[in-house]
Amino acid sequence: MNEISGPMYYNGVYHEFYQYNPDGAFDPNDSLMNMVWGHSVSTDLINWIGLEPAIKPDIPSDICGCWTGSATILFGVQPVIIYTGLIDRKANQVQNIALPKNRSDPYLREWAKVGSNPVIQHVIPGLNSSHFRDPTTGWIGPDGLWRIAVGAEVNGIGTALLYKSEDFMSWTRIERPLYSNNALNMWECLDFFAVVPGSNNGLDMSSEIPSGAKHVLKVSINSCDMYIVGVYDLKRDEFVPDTVQDDNRLWTRIDYGTFYASKSFFDSKHGRRVIWAWSNETDSYSDDIAKGWAGIHSIPRTIWLDGDGKQLIQWPVEEIESLRINEINHQGLELKKGDLFEIKGIDTLQADVEIDFEPTSIDDAETFDPSWLFDPRKQCREADASVHGGIGPFGLVILASDNMEEHTAVHFRVYKSEQKYIILMCSDLRRSSLRPGLYTPAYGGFFEFDLENEKRISLRTLIDRSAVESFGSGGRICITARVYPVALVDDDGAHMYAFNNGSTTVRVPQLRAWSMKRAQVNVMKGGSVIDA
């Protein structure tokens, strides 16, 4: 399984569609030609029921594969899926529509493709027809017409093509794109949504957007999900970024780890916007075949825009807390240089850890070099958890073996620029496993922090065996990682520590951790549904 497609909340049920290879736990080029839309449902975003695939390749406009798309609920009543179809083995792409056969079925098990497919053809001047995919959720423009955007490469430039329709069935391309930028040559898995700075309430794109709202354009490219904040110019039907970075290495990321093709939707049940993504395996092809599955989806997150209007904030949906058991709590800890504090009393292979760090002084912050922004991973490698610093590194060591030969370090290091503090957050996998054939990078990203006033730097890490999702500074920065230590194979447990390796003493005012129960996630196997 890979990319999330068309998440939605409809009549009391959450639906998650996703790219699924029914032929096996692998993703070579040929398997892409037979992708279907897997389908799971839930009432709480945590426990899921697996259903039969919703869409399969069986018409000329998707005969070689049903790729990613979106779901839109028209006027709160009619769900519609719009998705990319492969029409041949050269991966030429068009856009199709499917409707539920029976809206009274709470699970919307069966979907029917409309007879007018494909509703959007790939006949556009300068278009690379094999790079024309992943239509967005629809929104209503100022003229009352529906809009969608489709990711494309046009004349070698990454482009969000814009289309409009009266009925969501017949589409006309608007000559001017929603946005284009020559920093990238192809955009896929687009997401476009409105946010109000400083408010964690979500906005429904099919309703009137309030004055003062910003818009976010998210693109997926080069295994990264990046986004731009700006305004939607209603008169010109254009997205106008607040700032433009010509070098895409400086674009802000949704997540700095293995987190790709994210998709958000408006959750009308709780009035929030929820996002989650595909986290690919980073073990070997043979490992995936042996275990019989490959690919997971991250824990759903609430997403909103910080009060400064620049930074998206993400936090695990509150429903995940229903899995917490066996809480442990420590207060008033103090970590001096070289200290390790072992966190005991929980299942360290399935855990939720929240910890606050408070440096006792801000005088020893090292000088920040702006060139590091181009390659945070390199800085995480060179200034790793073993390298003494001024303020930091401090954080968590997780999934550690008895002798620390295996461990993953999630940590912070504080730097001082001319007028502000910059924090580097790393999730370092280079010593995560003794197993061969794994991809074990040091992920990392920078964020600004008002250390003089905020003082406490928070870290929340969710560990679900091979999946490690970390949220720094209340969700200002997120890093998802996949790790495969021998402890997971042997099921012997592992150690967890809070640590400090900087010269500045760091207080830990609060450390809370829980074991996490296993969610009821249903998996298709051999044509039947079994509990995982």
- Give Cα separations from 199 to 116, 299, 460 (angstroms): 41, 21, 21
Contact 262, 233 (CB under 8 A): no
CB neighbour list of residue 520: distance below 8 Å, 6 or more residues apart:
47, 48, 531, 532
pLDDT at res. 28: 46
**Residue 418 burial (CB < 10 Å; 0-12/13-18/19+)?**
exposed
Quick one: tokens of 313? 């904030």
Could you give the 3-state DSSP secondary structure of residue 100? strand
Cβ(317)–Cβ(477) below 8 Å: no
pLDDT in tens, 213-243: 999 999 999 899 999 999 999 999 999 999 9
Mention every residue, 6+ apart, whose C-beta is less than 8 A from residue 345. Answer: 326, 328, 513
Distance CA(295)–CA(277), nearest Å, equals 10
Query: Looking at residue 183, what is its pLDDT?
Result: 80
Identify the pLDDT of residue 488. 73
| Full-model pTM | 0.95
pLDDT the model gives residue 27: 62
Structure tokens at 370: 């702006």
| CATH class held by domain 3-316 | mainly beta
Q: Which residues pair with 270 in a beta bridge?
A: none
pLDDT at res. 33: 65
For the chain, what are the domain ranges? Answer: 3-316, 324-516
Low-confidence ranges of the chain (pLDDT < 50): 28, 525-532
Superfamily of domain 324-516: Exo-inulinase; domain 1 (2.60.120.560)
